[in-house]
Amino acid sequence: MPFDGCPTPFTSILAPREFDAFTSAQPGCFVDLNLDQVIDALVPLVDADVLRPVFWSARRDEAVVRFRQAVFSDLDHPGLLTPVAPFRDAMRLVRADLAYASKVDRAAHRDAVTLRAAGRYCGTVRALATAWRDEGPRSAGLLACLAYLEGLIGGAGFASLEGGVARCRAALATVQYGLLFRGDSVVIRRHAGEPDYTDTVHGRFARFREADGPAPRPKAAADGGGLDHIEAGILSSVSRQFPAPFAELSRFVAAHPDFIDPLVARLDREVGFYTSYLAYIAP
């Protein structure tokens, strides 16, 4: 049977109901008891601002203690714990993309980075819900959270966001263009059906290869989202030559200015309380 019966409405993964704000400063006794060193070892630097106040805040409510212990028991199962790390990593990348996009001047570039963030957000929320549903949590905390995630995914807002991502990706996939380099200038034009000369070039230089086996294909550049002024100029020119896909992208971004659900953001922050402690006590 699930812990504590049917799940209550999800408000936090740390308590069965709303509670007072966390302590904003480290208690003085922590230094005397060397607990500050324990917290330093427990909390990863990337989560310090969020998790330190959680560990500083004493909870003397038995219901809260039982609630958290049940979540810990659930997360003892690899099937429930393992998907949490990819979820949190993806949410960090989503926030990083949105922070970067807010500083980008060129609309096409800004919208493209935002699209990537939205797609990653939809994918990681759906993946976490699927993994937890397949494994079957028992604690009130994870049951309530799972019920909330499934309701979110099944709602009109998430469907609109996910569908918009798919439409924009499909529209942008139709964009094909060519680059003509003439001295220090670059001419951008629509793709004219030229063949891919990669295999031809490999064939011409095959006799110079020292190792046997197929020639390696060119590796795609790592995409951190950043563009230099030449790349940004090329993207702006491409967006002007293909106005329809980029107009679709612009409408999508305008329709979803704040797509991260507040309780998903809260889950991302608070679940680190459990994962950091489990990592600390792991053999």
Question: What is the secondary structure of 53-111 as a DSSP string?
Answer: HHHHS----HHHHHHHHHHHHHHTSHHHHTTHHHHHHHHHHHHHHHHHHTT--SHHHHH
**232 inside domain:** yes
**207 inside domain:** no
**247 inside domain:** yes
List the structure tokens of 66.
């039982």
**23 inside domain:** no
What pLDDT sits at residue 224?
59
**52 inside domain:** no
176 contacts 163 by C-beta, under 8 angstroms = no
Prediction pTM value: 0.83
217 contacts 269 by C-beta, under 8 angstroms = no
Cβ neighbours of residue 240 closer than 8 Å, sequence gap 6 or more: none
What pLDDT sits at residue 123?
98
**107 inside domain:** yes
The pLDDT tens digits for 169-194 are: 999 999 998 888 887 788 888 887 77
**45 inside domain:** no
What pLDDT sits at residue 23?
74
What pLDDT sits at residue 59?
74
List the structure tokens of 268.
């991302």
Neighbours of 277 (CB within 10 A): 17
Tokens 């060519």, residue located? 178
What pLDDT sits at residue 131?
97
**94 inside domain:** yes
102 lies in which domain range? 82-193+227-265
Low-confidence ranges of the chain (pLDDT < 70): 1-8, 18-21, 46, 209-225
What total number of domains does the chain contain? 1
The pLDDT tens digits for 146-175 are: 999 999 999 999 999 999 999 999 999 999
Distance from C-alpha of 200 to C-alpha of 29, rounded to nearest angstrom = 72
% of the chain beyond a pLDDT of 90? 53
